[in-house]
Structure 1
Amino acid sequence: MPERPVAPLAPPPADPPGPAIGTTHRRRLRDVWRSAGWPCQDVIEAELIAAGLLERREDAAGRLSVRVSDAGMQVLAQTAERNRAARSAHEALVGQVATALARDGRIAWRGLAMRARVTDDTGQPRWQMAMPDVYSVRHTSVAAYLQPVVHEIKVRRADLLADLRRPAKRAAYLQMAGALYYVLAEGIAEAAEIPPECGVLVARRPALPLSRSPGPDADEADNAPMRLELLRPAPTRALPHEAGLPFAVWMALARATPVAQASDPQLWLGADAGRESDAA
């Protein structure tokens, strides 16, 4: 049936400032865009309509629906672009941390999915899914020497604050690792904001010369790896497992592929002598 726009509400006597559009509003915009547009008639929807990001529609039978306006589509596109940039920055920092751990002789994995048994607010045990950004162990065959560590990478303050409101997630990490570090992009938080059971690293961009000018060198400096600075070491503890790690963690590690280790220059030592002996 053809739809017609609903007549706009009469403006109030005073023109108040528009509502601030936050993450909840952007998520609702996305949900409306993907759905049939049935109205929720709550405050979030009212604020989106007042901001001109949603439009009310009425069909011939008098049924109301909401549609994302052109301005709302621009907000969705801007949000998608911002999220892509954040994911790119996040993945770049994850890769740098994993490579640094591998270079230090540890075995590192990215994007593992594991379950850990934690205790909820009522004291009852339950299973918690955990997906650490980087999980690493020492390169050893002795279970007691593994020293597993989780590095959780955050490049946006909003993501960090949301993560800090999930104590069960940190508890799950500490069930599978002897230490937990937060790796923060520079400027998004202070070390004092991170719970004391976690260590803190900050990723700083390398200092640039004052005489820097636009050009290829400047672009290369912008893309240079960030410097990881330790702000607070993580408390370490031994895992209460005879095998060093929970069985579920061993299985997850067996199914996953670790980050490739950097080549060791010492591997080339004696290579010429080996070739000479083969020729002889």
Structure 2
Amino acid sequence: MSTPPAPLLRRMHRTRLMQLWRSAGWPCRDAIEVDLLAWGLVQLQCSDAGHETLRLTSTGLERLAEARQGNMRAQSRHDRLADRVARELLAGGRVVWRELTLRAPVDLPADPSDAAPTAFVLNEATPAGLWGPGELPEAPAVNRPAAWRLARMDVFSVRHTTVEAYLQPAVHEIKVSRADLFSDLRHPTKRQAYEALCSECWYVFPAGMAEPREIPVEWGIWVVHSGEGVDDGRVELVRPARHQPCRLPFPVWMALARSNPFAPDRREVQPLLADLHDQDGTDVEEARDARLDGARGC
């Protein structure tokens, strides 16, 4: 029977191939594995003890590598730099979110009609005897409506701590073009929305794209010295950000609870069960059962 050609792998198929590659290959026996078996991307193996496992074939490895390379090429320079910054913050002991959207209060532009409210003046039309000397009522206060803005942050992070006062929420805005940077600088309400939700705000951009004097003094600056790209360039702190106390409101905590923190793919540090047998031929499942029996006191 000829093997049908494998179509373009969907995300769920790529995820399952990576999971099988990173594990001992225990099957789930679902529809995804039926597709992978039919396409010849995995094969079913059976040990002497009757334990079935799934192994990637050479075709499966090639398709998985092609999918990952295509995904890396599709990732923009902006996304790569944002991931680089997120990894730096994660290594520094912070909890990080990427592309987080939060609602922040901002000040409305001043309205000329609100600048000088009309004062109450006693005139001929005012009934006599209502107010004595010096008892004129004050002019009514003008209540300007509250303005809200959705702030989509490239990188949002807080310190990994159990004390709320030590959270120090921070926003890092990633810019890879001068036009994008100065488009931000022309919109002060956007920066104000960021400042309302964090203690420190930073701009991160490649070295030589802008001068520190062109950036608002409240914002810190990171520059990336990239010879060939932004993935491995040296990160330099050019100017620290102004620190201000910030207590995250309850809606922000709800938004963080609904969002997934940034978690890079760390295959090199995750414990793997790549082989069914170890070097001396001991069955991995038998060793696991022996450890469980020992824990139960059998």
TM-score in terms of structure 2 length: 0.52
Label 1:101 to 1:187 Cα distance change in 2 as closer, same or farther (>3 A): same
- 1:110 equivalent to 2:117? Answer no
Label 1:172 to 1:87 Cα distance change in 2 as closer, same or farther (>3 A): farther
Report the counterpart of residue 227 of structure 1 in structure 2.
234
CA distance in 1, matches of 2:204, 2:149: 22
1:248 Cα deviation from its structure 2 partner: 2.0
1:225 partner amino acid? D
Label 1:222 to 1:157 Cα distance change in 2 as closer, same or farther (>3 A): closer
CA distance in 2, matches of 1:149, 1:202: 17
CA contact 2:100–2:152 (8 Å) conserved in 1: yes
1:87 Cα deviation from its structure 2 partner: 7.1
Higher RCO (C-alpha under 8 Å, 6+ residues apart): 2
Dislocated runs of 4+, deviation >4 Å: 221-224, 265-268, 277-280
- Select which of 169, 185, 188 maps to 1:167: 188
CA distance in 1, matches of 2:177, 2:75: 10
How many residue pairs are counted as aligned between the two chains? 171
CA contact 1:86–1:156 (8 Å) conserved in 2: no
Larger radius of gyration between Structure 1 and Structure 2: 2
1:226 Cα deviation from its structure 2 partner: 2.1
Report the counterpart of residue 89 of structure 1 in structure 2.
77
Secondary structure of the structure 2 residue equivalent to 1:133:
strand
- Select which of 254, 258, 269 maps to 1:251: 254
CA contact 2:102–2:255 (8 Å) conserved in 1: yes
- Select which of 151, 175, 195 maps to 1:154: 175
Label 1:236 to 1:266 Cα distance change in 2 as closer, same or farther (>3 A): farther
- Select which of 98, 122, 136 maps to 2:157: 136
1:182 partner amino acid? Y
Label 1:169 to 1:139 Cα distance change in 2 as closer, same or farther (>3 A): same
Label 1:204 to 1:278 Cα distance change in 2 as closer, same or farther (>3 A): farther
Label 1:230 to 1:144 Cα distance change in 2 as closer, same or farther (>3 A): same
- Paired-residue identity, %: 46
CA distance in 1, matches of 2:181, 2:220: 14
Structure 2 unmatched ranges of 5 or more: 1-72, 112-143, 272-290
Q: How does 1:180-219 map to 2 (within 5 A)?
A: 180-206=201-227
1:267 Cα deviation from its structure 2 partner: 11
Structure 1 unmatched ranges of 5 or more: 1-84, 207-220, 269-274
- 1:120 equivalent to 2:108? Answer yes
CA distance in 2, matches of 1:179, 1:136: 10
Higher mean displacement: 144-153 or 183-192? 183-192
Whose helix fraction is larger, Structure 1's or Structure 2's?
Answer: 1
CA contact 1:156–1:188 (8 Å) conserved in 2: yes
CA contact 1:116–1:128 (8 Å) conserved in 2: yes
CA distance in 1, matches of 2:207, 2:78: 13
Label 1:198 to 1:128 Cα distance change in 2 as closer, same or farther (>3 A): same
Report the counterpart of residue 86 of structure 2 in structure 1.
98
Report the counterpart of residue 277 of structure 2 in structure 1.
none
